[in-house]
Copies of this chain bind each other. A is one copy, B any other.
Amino acid sequence: MSKLLTTTPRQDGFRMPAEWEPHIGCWMLWPERSDNWRGGAKPAQHAFAAVAAAIVEGEPVTVCVSPGQYVIAREMLDPAVRVVEMTNNDSWIRDCGPTFVVNKAGLVRGVDWKFNAWGGLLGGLYFPWDQDDLVGEKVIEMEGDDRYGPNFILEGGSIDVDGECSLLVTEQCLLNANRNPTKTREQIEQELRDYLGVEAVLWLKAGVYLDETDGHIDNFCRFIAPGEVVLTWTDDRRDPQYDISAEAYERLQTMRDARGRPLTVHKLHQPNPALITAEEAAGVDRVPGTLPREPGDRLAASYVNFYIANDRLIMPAFNDSHDEAAQAVLSDLFPLRDIITVPGREILLGGGNIHCITQQEPLGARGAKTVVAA
């Protein structure tokens, strides 16, 4: 049974764990809308299936699928993946899904934020988003966890925590007038403290160049351990990304986290600028109200958009000259995990990458799902 709570995680002693803390599993949604994904979403579906297959070798994966796609997804997905029915507007469970929090006893609860498709009627990417907004509640309900329901618009990709009371966000997203326009910066910080159980809110200015999420932190800069972050980077001063990353680098140098630590910043060189091809654009249905995909548009490609699974890290590869170096950097930063690369181009074409399409559920004190031998 899932109970709607009127308290806050902070009041109840709950916090959002870091992504590298143990998971009971990973949640995904199945892509299908032909006005965002080219070729009737078939290339994206294969890409999502590859991500699910890579993760499920290390932890259980549940893929949520709309009714009409259920049997198709069941056929295309690895048999080890669990498939459940869940209506949605698109497939970004990092952003429309729940944020799980835990307490010291290992009890797990879900935070069910409000979702408005990255901007609602002021620059949101599609309309409507009512089914996406139910995804958080439905996942929490399926797990039987108690639920917090803040009256606050937030996407999971716009926050990144170290599990020790520090949180990274961008002003471009969190202070955007299309999210929570009636709240001041201080009020927004308080919401984050209340519902994520953090103390220090560390503000960067903006995210990756042309990121249609309004600069989500998870494509740009993320904790890889307490006191250490990885930042997407370019050495090309003519690239618009240079100034954004350089400015963030400067800010990060001056910051102290919730424990008073300075931050070590690891640079992760971005892929070469990736543009939508004419063929790719032609494969996407044009629909009024949905962000169009134009030939030549630059994609917000970044290696920072990885998923940290229990025993491995799933990183997007772009068939790019920087792929190998990125894998090497992440291998150094995550010595306990295998770094698995999965082709990320088809996910990128839809507006995000591997981290955006995944949502970890912490293990807490539940113990692993039990399997009884025959």
Contacts and interface: CB of A to CB of B under 8 A. Distances in A.
A105 B372 contact: yes
Interface in A117-141: 131, 134, 138, 141
Interface in A64-90: 66-67, 70-71, 74, 79-87
A273 to B, nearest CB: 40
* Interface of A, helix, strand, loop or mixed by DSSP: loop
A106 interface: yes
B372 A107 contact: yes
A74 B4 CA distance: 12
Interface string A1-35: 11100000000100000000000000000000000
* Interface residue range, chain A: 35 or more
B80 A141 contact: no
Contact of A372 (B74, B142, B365, B372): B365
A271 B335 CA distance: 72
B141 A106 contact: no
A103 interface: yes
Please list the 10 inter-chain residue pairs (A to B) with the smallest Cβ-Cβ separation, ordered nearest first. A67-B87, A1-B80, A107-B372, A85-B85, A365-B372, A107-B374, A84-B142, A85-B86, A83-B141, A82-B144
30 contacts: A1-B60, A1-B79, A1-B80, A1-B81, A1-B82, A2-B79, A2-B82, A3-B79, A67-B67, A67-B87, A70-B87, A70-B134, A70-B138, A71-B134, A83-B141, A84-B85, A84-B138, A84-B141, A84-B142, A85-B87, A85-B138, A103-B374, A105-B372, A105-B373, A105-B374, A106-B372, A107-B373, A142-B142, A364-B372, A366-B372
